[in-house]
Structures are given as structure tokens and as C-alpha cells.
DNA sequence: GCCGCACTAGGACACTTGACCTACAAGTTA
DNA sequence: TAACTTGTAGGTCAAGTGTCCTAGTGCGGC
């Protein structure tokens, strides 16, 4: 049960870091959520940074798994990119409450000048690269694909931030529609 | 000198909240920055929330002043909206380091469930309304104008977030160009 | 001169933080 | 039985937190 227990701790920490932020979440918070004593905590993780590291590793692994699933699920690059866009809708209720898990963690770590910032940014890079690959398959040059991937990421981030600020679910749906229109336009303008 | 001193404290707190985040910034940090003793601090502000309130009020006032200046400076609504877009470029070096002051504060307060969140969101609303007004003058319906204003805000937020994560100044310039193109396209498609 | 006032320094307070330790129970191995 | 590993509980530590108090400064008005 040791693996499962550790996994349980990381999962709760992941949730709390997302919902409350890293800085605000203390050992006591996590320990209480996992129902273990504060002291016992130190057996599994010997510093707060170590938990953060584990949480980021977990997110990276989950993201990898998700991207792989999309790769199988979507039967065209366009459909796969749609999977990416749709997470805004799928996770909308959480986004309204807590914002984007990616963006909020990254910006918090950036402010704290935390050493794990680079690892957190790897999450962004993962999406960036994957989106780029899909776009290359669609016929864009690697450079064009990367530019479009960054644009997609930025749009998603902005949508999440504003939806969070104004607690506006309709805004998400509206912008998702615009994002799809924009993407189709880009694909249409490809030389064939 | 009491006004000036208080103003000085708020200015430093504003800077530190932006650069380090609200949660992480302590009384000691601010007191040290202002060169006063920690205890003295309590004479001017009797709680941390009160400082936050003052900082937000300051930002609201500054934003108001900025929007008024744009109103005089830009001789057309299109030129005024360009002022808004250009702050991404003007503040790019700070954005690369700390992200967007608006978005990062809002998302942090949202996570902390802080009561001042609504006041912080007023900052967003200020831009939203001002942008909407400009777009109405351009000929859009109030509803269209608000939709476009929200879109503009979201794009800006996304650009700031991604630029911050990847520390990429070229990305800002690239996206600013796209934003201008998009806006001109919207204006062109207006019925006349 | 004296008083009142805006302002300041420094510390006390109760509490929380991450970090660390010891004690111990249960299970495994020898 | 004895030694060892694994996991847990609970307490302790120094440092730091926001809050609050008191003593005192300098200065303008009376």
C-alpha cells in the first residue's frame, strides 16, 4: 500500500495546489486532506519542494496520458486539436472557480522565483509541441505550426483567466466557437 | 507629509504584490521597502486586507487616469484601442518577469477566496467597459461591443501569460500584430 | 513655556509555518 | 526469539506571521 498512499498524498496536494495555490497550501492542509498526521508526512516527503516536484511530475504524466489518448481517439489532426479546445468546456466549472491549473501554477511559481518553475513550464511545452505536431500533419511548416500552437495556447489561457474573473460560462462557449472558426480559417488558407 | 507617506507605502505594497504576489508579501517586506519599522506600519494600516484595499483603490485610480489620458491622446476610437493593445509592448519587460498585474492578482485572490476579489475584478470591468464604449463609437451594437471587448481582454491576458511562461518577447510583438489585424478586420466588416 | 497631534520605534502577543525527532506498532526476515 | 524494515503518531523547534501596545519624538499652535 505504500505506493498507493504516496499517490494519494500527491493527488490531494495536486488538488489543493490547484484550488488554493501552492504558497497558501501548508503541510497541515494536505495532511488533513489525506487523513494522516503532520509528522507522518515527513516520512513520505522531506520538504515542500519535494511535494511540488511530485505534483508536477504527476501532472506531466497525466498530460502525457491524455495526449496519447487523444492521439488514438481523434481520427484526424483537426479532431485531435478539437479535443484540446474542448477541455475548456469539459473543465469549465472548475475553471470558473479556480482558473487554469497550468497558467495559475506557472504564474505563481514565476512570482516566487521558484526553482521548479522550469519543470512547470515543461507542461506548457508539452502542449505546445503536441499541438505543433498536429498542425504539421495538417500541412503547416514547423515554424507556422509552432506559431499557431502558441496562439492556441494563449487564447486558451486568456479565456480561462477571463472566465474565472467574471465567472462567466457563456463566455467560454462563445470563445470556444470563435477559436474553432479561427482554426478552420487557418486550415482553409493552406496551399494545396 | 502624512498623505505622501501613506502613498509611499501603498506604492511599495503595490509593487511587491505585483512582483511577489499578495500571499507571499509580508508586513516585514513592505516595511523594509518603505524603510519604516514593522510596528509603525500598524499606525497607517490596521490590517493586511486594508493595504490590499488601498492598493486596489490605487490601481483603479491609476487606471482611470490612464484611460482618461488615452481618451485625449487618441484622436479616434481605433487609435485609443491601440493604446490599450500597446501596453503589452510598453510593459513587456515587466510582463516577461511577473505576468499581467491584473490577471495575476485576480487569479490569486480567487484562489484565496478573498473578499477583495470583487474589487479587483472591478479593474477588469473598467477596461471592459471602456473598450466597449470605444467599439460602440466605432459603430458596433452594445452587445457586439461587449463581446469584442471581452475578446480583446482575453487575448491580452493569454499573451501576457504565455509570454511570462516562455519569457518570449518576440511572441508579444507577434501577437500584438495579430490582434491589430483582427481588430481591423472586425471594423471592416461593419455595415455602413 | 506647554499642550496636542501626527508620526515613529521597538517589542510583546498568540499563532502558524516547514522542518525535524523520537517512540512505537506491525510485519518480515533470520 | 531477536533484529530489522516500514509506516504512523505526536511533539518540538526556530523562524516568521499579523496584530496590538506603549513609550517617545518632533513640531505647530496657543
Q: Which domains does chain A have, with CATH numbers?
A: 58-188 (1.10.357.10)
Residue of B nearest to A166 (CA): B121
Please state, in angstroms and as integers, the Cα–Cα distance from residue A97 to each residue in A160, A165, A168, B107, B155, following that order. Answer: 10, 9, 10, 10, 20
* Of B66, B54, B53, the residue nearest B5 (C-alpha): B54
Cβ atoms of residues B165 and A106 within 8 Å = yes
Scan for cell 452594445, then name that residue. Answer: B142
Query: A161 vs B158: CB contact, 8 Å cut-off?
Result: yes
Scan for cell 466588416, then name that residue. Answer: B189
Sign of CA dihedral B82, B80, A157, A174: negative
- Helix A101-112 to helix A2-20 angle, to the nearest 10 degrees? 80
**Buried b / exposed e along A36-60 (16+ C-beta atoms within 10 A):** beeeebeebbeeeeebbbbbbeebe
Query: B161 vs A159: CB contact, 8 Å cut-off?
Result: no
Angle at B16 between CA B61 and CA B128, to 5 degrees: 35
Overall residue count recorded for chain A in this entry: 192
One DSSP character per residue, A88-113 reads: HHHTHHHHHHH--HHHHHHHHHHHHT
* Of A163, A152, A25, the residue nearest A98 (C-alpha): A163
Cβ-proximal residues to B152 (8 Å cutoff; 6+ apart), any chain: B81, B84, B85, B131, B179, B183
The shortest C-alpha distance from A67 to chain B (Å) reads: 20
- Name the band, by pLDDT with cuts 50, 70 and 90, for residue A93: very high
Q: Which residues of B touch A111 (CB under 8 A)?
A: 19-21, 24, 98-99, 104
How far apart, in whole angstroms, are the C-alpha atoms of residue B181 and residue B160? 18
Q: Is B183 helix (H, G, I), strand (E, B) or coil?
A: helix
Overall residue count recorded for chain B in this entry: 192
The pTM of this model reads: 0.92
Cβ atoms of residues A23 and A108 within 8 Å = yes
pLDDT reported for residue A2:
39
Cβ atoms of residues B59 and B123 within 8 Å = yes
The C-alpha R_g of chain B, in whole angstroms, comes to 18
pLDDT reported for residue B3:
54
A24 Cβ within 7 A of any nucleic strand D atom: no
Protein-contacted bases of chain C (C-beta within 7 A):
6-12, 16-22
Q: Which residues of A touch B99 (CB under 8 A)?
A: 107, 110-111
Which tens digit of pLDDT belongs to each residue from B134-185? Answer: 999 999 999 999 999 999 999 999 999 999 999 999 999 999 999 999 999 9
pLDDT reported for residue B164:
97
CB atoms within 10 A of CB A72: 8
Q: What stretches of A34-76 adopt beta strand conformation (E)?
A: none
- Name the band, by pLDDT with cuts 50, 70 and 90, for residue A122: very high
B192 pLDDT exceeds 80?
A: no
CB nearest to B165's CB, from A21, A23, A106: A106
B residues 68-127 closer than 8 Å to A (CB): 97-99, 103-104, 106-108, 110-112, 121, 124
Query: B162 vs A178: CB contact, 8 Å cut-off?
Result: no
pLDDT, average across residues A69-93: 95
CA of A15 to C1' of C24 (A): 32
Which tens digit of pLDDT belongs to each residue from B103-145? Answer: 999 999 999 999 999 999 999 999 999 999 999 999 999 999 9
Long-range CB contacts for residues A117-123, cutoff 8 Å, separation at least 24: A119/A53, A119/A56, A119/A57, A119/A60, A120/A56, A121/B165, A121/B166, A122/A56, A122/A60, A123/A56, A123/A59, A123/A60, A123/A63
* Of A5, A143, A149, the residue nearest A67 (C-alpha): A149
Residue of B nearest to A100 (CA): B107
Looking at the C1' of nucleotide D10, which residue has the nearest alpha carbon? Answer: A39
- Name the band, by pLDDT with cuts 50, 70 and 90, for residue A147: very high
pLDDT reported for residue A39:
79
pLDDT reported for residue B145:
98
Q: Which residues of B touch A85 (CB under 8 A)?
A: none
A191 pLDDT exceeds 90?
A: no
Supply φ then ψ for residue B58, to 5 degrees.
Answer: -65, -45
Residue of B nearest to A21 (CA): B111
B23 Cβ within 7 A of any nucleic strand D atom: no
Q: Which residues of B touch A98 (CB under 8 A)?
A: 110-111
Question: CA end-to-end span of chain A, whole Å?
Answer: 56
A80 pLDDT exceeds 90?
A: yes
How far apart, in whole angstroms, are the C-alpha atoms of residue A177 and residue A165? 20
Cβ atoms of residues B25 and A24 within 8 Å = no
How far apart, in whole angstroms, are the C-alpha atoms of residue A106 and residue B31? 28
CA of A44 to C1' of D12 (A): 20
pLDDT, average across residues A157-161: 98
B1 pLDDT exceeds 50?
A: no
CA of B117 to C1' of D22 (A): 36
pLDDT reported for residue A3:
53
Amino acid at each position: 500500500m505504500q505506493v498507493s498512499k504516496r499517490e494519494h498524498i500527491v493527488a490531494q496536494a495536486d488538488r489543493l495546489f490547484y484550488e488554493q495555490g501552492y504558497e497558501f497550501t501548508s503541510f497541515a492542509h494536505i495532511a488533513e486532506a489525506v487523513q494522516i498526521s503532520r509528522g507522518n508526512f515527513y516520512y513520505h516527503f522531506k520538504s515542500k519542494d519535494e511535494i511540488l516536484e511530485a505534483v508536477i511530475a504527476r501532472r506531466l504524466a497525466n498530460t502525457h496520458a491524455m495526449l496519447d489518448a487523444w492521439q488514438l481517439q481523434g481520427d484526424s489532426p483537426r479532431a485531435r486539436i478539437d479535443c484540446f479546445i474542448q477541455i475548456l468546456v469539459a473543465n469549465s466549472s472548475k475553471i470558473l472557480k479556480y482558473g487554469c491549473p497550468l497558467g495559475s501554477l506557472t504564474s505563481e511559481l514565476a512570482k516566487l522565483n521558484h526553482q521548479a518553475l522550469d519543470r512547470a513550464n515543461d507542461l506548457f511545452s508539452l502542449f505546445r509541441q503536441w499541438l505543433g505536431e498536429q498542425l504539421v500533419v495538417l500541412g503547416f511548416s514547423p515554424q507556422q505550426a509552432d506559431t499557431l500552437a502558441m496562439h492556441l495556447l494563449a487564447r486558451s489561457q486568456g479565456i480561462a483567466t477571463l472566465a474565472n474573473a467574471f465567472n462567466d460560462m457563456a463566455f467560454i462557449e462563445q470563445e470556444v466557437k470563435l477559436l474553432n472558426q479561427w482554426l478552420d480559417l487557418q486550415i482553409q488558407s493552406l496551399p494545396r
